[in-house]
Amino acid sequence: MTALPRSCEMCVVRNRAVCSVLDGEELSVLNRIGRRQTLAPGQSLYWEGDDALLVGNVLEGVLKLTTSLSDGREQTVGLVYPSDFIGRPFGNTAGHSVTALTEARICTFAQSDFERFAEDHPKLEHKLYEKTLTELDRAREWMLLLARKSASERIATFLLEMSDRLRASGCAPLPGTLDRFELPFGRQQIGDVLGLTIETVSRRLTALKREGIIDLEGRRGIVIVDRAALEDQAQAGE
């Protein structure tokens, strides 16, 4: 079997990204048509309505997916984490804007090159299909979050998702330890993502701490003390 190209061998999402189904020789071919790109916080990879020219795997960081409303406001429709796939293979235009919330590294491919490669590798197409269905489920959950849930439920749901997604990214707590993680962005950005004011975000985090459900460490540290209670908060209105 052909050895993995070094950039793929060292990839932190190697076993979770769409390319996880490829062998060393196939990865070598894919690696030759890809490139690494770093985005600063606030920098966009592409904008809603742009020609669909790029696709890629998120290696590090958190990004947001947004769409523009008729009155000019921006609506966040989802978050993207390490190992997630972004872009629309076999599509003509970008359905939403992709903007970095934190510094982010992405392995990008020209859409046309990736499409040709995927057509020759059915395993990759199948994995991409699985990722697409997972993203569709998350989009439906996000619609429920914004349309039906109260501020308290949104904050609780957000913390649980952040914990789960960071754990999937290799940031899981050690066995027997508390669920502790660092928020990758501040309260203002949390409010922007959830459609809440920064004051509401701060009040709800303080209330969760007062109730003994979470603890706050510094400006961004979160400790989930009582996960069952936090899950109850997230589902209170369902």
pLDDT of residue 225: 92
Q: What confidence score (pLDDT) does residue 19 get? A: 87
Residue of 174 and 160 predicted with greater confidence: 160
150-234 carries CATH number 1.10.10.10: yes
- Quick one: pLDDT at residue 169? 57
Domains of the chain: which residue ranges? Answer: 6-146, 150-234
Q: Give the pLDDT confidence of 90-136 residue by residue, as tens digits.
A: 878 888 899 998 899 999 999 999 999 988 988 888 888 887 777 77
5 contacts 31 by C-beta, under 8 angstroms: yes
Q: Look at residue 4 in the predicted model and tell me its pLDDT.
A: 43
The CATH superfamily label for domain 6-146 reads Jelly Rolls (2.60.120.10)
pLDDT digits (tens, 9 = 90+) for 188-217: 888 888 889 999 999 999 999 999 999 998
Q: Which two tokens stand for residue 155?
A: 């904050």
